[in-house]
Amino acid sequence: MKYSPKTEGFFEKVYAVARLIPYGRVTNYGAIARYIGSGGSARMVGWAMNGAGKHPDVPAHRVVNRIGMLTGKHHFSGTNLMQQLLESEGIRVEEDQVVDFKKVFWDPLKELES
DNA sequence: TGATTGACTATGA
DNA sequence: TTCATAGCCAATC
């Protein structure tokens, strides 16, 4: 499991953005990928999240796919841990999908722009 | 070394 | 509107 310096930077960027996600908000992989300049490599964000376990500060549960579906819930300890975490933040989840996703969606490109 | 997979997204039929 | 396919890049087999 050796990471190249460049890859490590990519991972760090993903984690950095993930940590900036406000409480009670969620974002998607594509937005993060685009924000860090990785373009359409949304999959790499997901892969980075796979290694987010080493970074307790990274709220991976606030990152879902573009339609607000909790595709990564199976990567958490429990099958419903991700949903519990989101609900504990006031985010409603139904059928593995975030309700009012549009309203709780947090786009780093717009929120962090300046 | 080459092929396959993956927590995705966008596009076309 | 829903389903299928292509593109993405790194890690794993």
Contact flag, residue A42 CB and nucleic strand C, below 7 A: yes
pLDDT at A82: 96
Greater confidence, A19 or A1? Answer: A19
Q: Using the CA of A28, give the nucleotide whose C1' is nearest.
A: B8
CB of A108 closer than 8 Å to CB of A27: yes
Chain B bases having any atom below 7 Å from a protein CB: 6-10
**N-term to C-term CA, chain A:** 37
Contact flag, residue A1 CB and nucleic strand C, below 7 A: yes
With a cut of 80, say whether residue A21 has pLDDT above it. yes
Give this prediction's pTM: 0.91
Query: A15: exposed, middle or buried (C-beta count within 10 Å: 0-12, 13-18, 19+)?
Result: buried
How many Å from the CA of A44 to C1' of B9?
12
